[in-house]
């Protein structure tokens, strides 16, 4: 296990980096509105970053593990709508990561 830990800014940037291309030509991320939750499953972190793209108020959604120098992305999704709280709680617990119930 690495002693290297992520800062919130590093987690948010890693999620933005892997989802930007999926949003289309124009996307504006709300870094200050990001939500970061420690998970009870691997990868360790759930990162949700509000994003405005193509006329939608969407959200970048990622699970991230590893270390800042070698991040490991589990889930990465560019959604046109934010996740409902129930699904967020499922992701924190490592459930329903495929998006189906």
Tokens 């996307």 found at = 27
Q: Is 72 within 8 Å of 13 (Cβ atoms)? A: no
> Residue 74's closest CA among 14, 4, 9, 32?
14
Question: Token pair for residue 90?
Answer: 């499922």
pLDDT at residue 1 tops 60: no
pLDDT digits (tens, 9 = 90+) for 67-78: 999 999 999 999
Predicted TM-score (pTM) of the model is 0.90
pLDDT of residue 100: 40
Query: In whole angstroms, what is the distance from residue 99 CA to residue 101 CA?
Result: 7
Q: How confident is the model at residue 97 (pLDDT cuts 50, 70, 90)?
A: low
Contact predicate 87/95, CB 8 Å: no
């Amino acid at each position: 296990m690495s002693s290297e830990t992520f800062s919130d800014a590093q987690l948010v940037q890693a999620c933005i980096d892997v989802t930007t291309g999926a949003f289309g030509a124009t996307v504006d991320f709300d870094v200050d509105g990001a939500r970061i939750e420690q998970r009870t499953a691997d990868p360790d972190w759930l990162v949700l970053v509000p994003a405005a793209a193509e006329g939608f108020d969407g959200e970048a959604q990622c699970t991230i593990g590893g270390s800042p120098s070698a991040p490991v992305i589990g889930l990465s999704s560019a959604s046109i709508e934010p996740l409902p709280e129930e699904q967020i709680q499922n992701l924190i617990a490592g459930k329903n990561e495929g998006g189906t119930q």
